C-alpha cells in the first residue's frame, strides 16, 4: 500500500472473503503500509480478531466517521440490513468497494449516497490468495481510486479491470462459478478412472492431483492452456485419442459454451 498516504479503511463482514482480504491488509500494516483499519463483524474468527488487535485495528466501534474506503463483504441478502451501519462510514470523498455478488453500482450509489463506487467479483480460490477478481469502477472514480482498489484486492489473487458493468454477468459465469466446473471435471475424471478398474480413493487422488498440478503448471510457466495442451499431445498417442472425443461436435467446447451462457443468463435474471 506504499503509494498512498495512510488510507483509512472500514471493512464490513470478515467472513471467508472479507477475512482473506483483511489478512492481507494486516500483513501490509506489519510491513509499515500505514493504513488504518476498522472492521465490523458480529462473529469474529478468534485468531483473526487477535491479529487485528495486534496491529491496532478498531473492531465493532460504537461511533464511526467517514473513511477513505469502505469495503462491503457481507452476503448480498444482508446488504439492506447492513446499509445503515455502512452509512456511518460514508462521507463525500469515501470510495465504496463491494464484493457482493449481483448488487449493482446503481444500488450501491443509491443506498449509500456515494458516487465513487467499485463493484468486484472474486472467486473461491481467493480464500487461499489464488483467486481472480474482476472489478468495474463507476465513472466518478479516479485513476487513483482504481489503483487503490487494485492494491486492496491483491490479497485475493490476481485482479482484472472490466470496461463495463454489463460484463459482470459473464464474469460471474466464467470465473465466479468456474471453480465448480473444474471441481466437476475432477469428479468426472475420478469416476472414469473407477470405470477403468482403479479403486475409488486412488481414483480421487489421481484426478485431484492432476487438476491441481495442471493448474499450477499453467500459472507458474505463464504458458497458455492451448500451448500446454499441444505440448502433451503427441500425434497418434493416448492423449490425442482422448482429445478426439473431447473435441467432437458434442464435446467440451460446445458444452461449456452452453453452460456459460446459462450461467450468464441466470446472473442477469438474479440481478433484476
Ligand X SMILES: NC(=O)c1ccc[n+]([C@@H]2O[C@H](COP(=O)([O-])OP(=O)(O)OC[C@H]3O[C@@H](n4cnc5c(N)ncnc54)[C@H](OP(=O)(O)O)[C@@H]3O)[C@@H](O)[C@H]2O)c1
* 42 scored as a contact of ligand X (CB under 6 A): yes
| Residue 192 Cβ vs ligand X, minimum distance, rounded to whole Å | 27
How far is it, in rounded angstroms, from Cα 137 to Cα 236? 49
For ligand X, the binding residues in 206-265 under the rule CB under 6 A are none
Among 35, 41, 136, 145, which residue interacts with ligand X (rule: CB under 6 A)?
41
Among 36-44, 201-209, 212-220, 234-242, the segment contacting ligand X (CB under 6 A): 36-44
Cβ atoms 146, 161 nearer than 8 A: yes
Binding ligand X (rule: CB under 6 A), the pick from 15, 61, 65, 161 is 15
Kindly determine how many residues on this chain lie close enough to bind ligand X according to the rule CB under 6 A: 27
* Helix, strand, coil percentages for the chain (3-state, nearest 5): 55, 15, 30
Specify the residue, 86 or 114, whose C-beta has the smaller distance to ligand X. 86
CB 16, CB 37: distance < 8 Å:
no
- Own/partner contacts of 182-191, CB < 8 Å, gap of 24 or more, are 182/211, 182/215, 185/211, 186/210, 186/211
Looking at beta carbons only, is 70 or 100 nearer to ligand X? 100
Please, which of residues 100-159 interact with ligand X by CB under 6 A? 100-101, 121-124
x/- binding map, residues 74-93, to ligand X, per CB under 6 A? Answer: xxx-x--xx--x--------
Distance (Å) of CA 142 to CA 118, 139, 223:
11, 8, 33
Closest separation in Å from C-beta 222 to ligand X: 25
Stretch that binds ligand X, among 2-10, 34-42, 135-143, 161-169 (CB under 6 A): 34-42
Contacts of 142 by beta carbon, 8 Å cutoff, 6+ apart: 116
C-alpha distances in angstroms, 71 versus 22, 74, 78?
Answer: 10, 9, 14
DSSP state of 155: G
CB closer to ligand X out of 133 and 204: 133
Of all helices (H) and strands (E), which one includes residue 263? helix 252-271
Q: Determine if 18 is a binding residue for ligand X (CB under 6 A).
A: yes
Residues lying near ligand X in the complex (CB under 6 A): 12-18, 40-43, 73-76, 78, 81-82, 85, 99-101, 121-124, 176
Amino acid at each position: 500500500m506504499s503509494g498512498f498516504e495512510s488510507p483509512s479503511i472500514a471493512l464490513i463482514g470478515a467472513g471467508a472473503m472479507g477475512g482473506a482480504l483483511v489478512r492481507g491488509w494486516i500483513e501490509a500494516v506489519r510491513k509499515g503500509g500505514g493504513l488504518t483499519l476498522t472492521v465490523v463483524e458480529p462473529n469474529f474468527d478468534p485468531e483473526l480478531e487477535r491479529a487485528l488487535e495486534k496491529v491496532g485495528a478498531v473492531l465493532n466501534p460504537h461511533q464511526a466517521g467517514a473513511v477513505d474506503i469502505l469495503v462491503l463483504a457481507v452476503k448480498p441478502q444482508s446488504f439492506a440490513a447492513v446499509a445503515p451501519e455502512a452509512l456511518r462510514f460514508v462521507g463525500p470523498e469515501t470510495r465504496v468497494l463491494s464484493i457482493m455478488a449481483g448488487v449493482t453500482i446503481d444500488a450501491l450509489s443509491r443506498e449509500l449516497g456515494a458516487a465513487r463506487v467499485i463493484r468486484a467479483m472474486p472467486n473461491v480460490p481467493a480464500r487461499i490468495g489464488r483467486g481472480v477478481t474482476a472489478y468495474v469502477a463507476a465513472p466518478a472514480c479516479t485513476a487513483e481510486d482504481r489503483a487503490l482498489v487494485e492494491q486492496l484486492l491483491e490479497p485475493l489473487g490476481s485482479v482484472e479491470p472490466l470496461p463495463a458493468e454489463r460484463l459482470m454477468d459473464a464474469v460471474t459465469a466464467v470465473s465466479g462459478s468456474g471453480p465448480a466446473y473444474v471441481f466437476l471435471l475432477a469428479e468426472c475424471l475420478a469416476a472414469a478412472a473407477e470405470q477403468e478398474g482403479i479403486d475409488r480413493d486412488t481414483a480421487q487422488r489421481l484426478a485431484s492431483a492432476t487438476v491441481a498440478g495442471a493448474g499450477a503448471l499453467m500459472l507458474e510457466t505463464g504458458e497458455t492452456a492451448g500451448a500446454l495442451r499441444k505440448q502433451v499431445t503427441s500425434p497418434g498417442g493416448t492423449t490425442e485419442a482422448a482429445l478426439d472425443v473431447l473435441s467432437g461436435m458434442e464435446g467440451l467446447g460446445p458444452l461449456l459454451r452452453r453452460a456459460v451462457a446459462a450461467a450468464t443468463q441466470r446472473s442477469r435474471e438474479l440481478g433484476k
